[in-house]
Structures are given as structure tokens and as C-alpha cells.
Amino acid sequence: MNETTLNLSAVYSQRLAALMDREKKYLKCFRDMSAAAFTDELKTALSPSSTEMDQHIERLKQCMTRQKIKGANTNDILTDTLLKLCADLIKPKKKYITCKRY
């Protein structure tokens, strides 16, 4: 292999590992938002089965396995912001759920 091929392979591996890491974070975020949703319609729209995220992650796992790529823990501003907004959105709902009614 020449140097260009090795570099492209390395870029592919890095991007695939980063994509997998982000998709797992998005899946968790969607699950949390679905659990905190106020309406059944919103819960259904955010559920992993309706977004087909589980199947997408399985396809990514297969690609990573075939290429012998290890997972990565990546940080990027967009994902970090989304997760923070998701957490801020869910916190009040979780507090409401845990309150006892008398």
C-alpha cells in the first residue's frame, strides 16, 4: 500500500470510530427524551425503534468489526451541546416524575 492509501484508511477508521461514539450518545439522548416526553406522539417519534438508530448502530459495529477498528471516545462541540441541552430539558421532567402526590 502506498502512503495515500494508508492515510485514507486511517481517516476512515477515525471517522467511523467517532461516528459510532456519537451515535451511541445520540441514542442515549433520544431514549432519555422519549422517557421525558409529555405526549405519546412525541414519545413514539423519539423512541429508538422509530428512528431506526439501533439498526444503524449494529451496521456500524459490523463495519468496525470487519475493519478491526476499536471504539473511541470523542468530543465535539455539536454533540456536547446537544447532550447538555438534552440533559437540561430532561432534568425538570425527571424531578416532576419523582415527586410524590398527596
Query: Rounded CA gap, 87 and 7, in Å?
Result: 37
**How confident is the model at residue 62, as a pLDDT?**
92
Q: What's the count of helices (H) and strands (E) in the chain, helices before strands? A: 5, 0
**Burial of 20: CB neighbours in 10 Å, binned 0-12, 13-18, 19+:** buried
Check whether 80 has a pLDDT greater than 70. Answer: yes
> Which pTM does this prediction carry?
0.70
pLDDT (mean) for 30-56: 82
**Burial of 48: CB neighbours in 10 Å, binned 0-12, 13-18, 19+:** middle
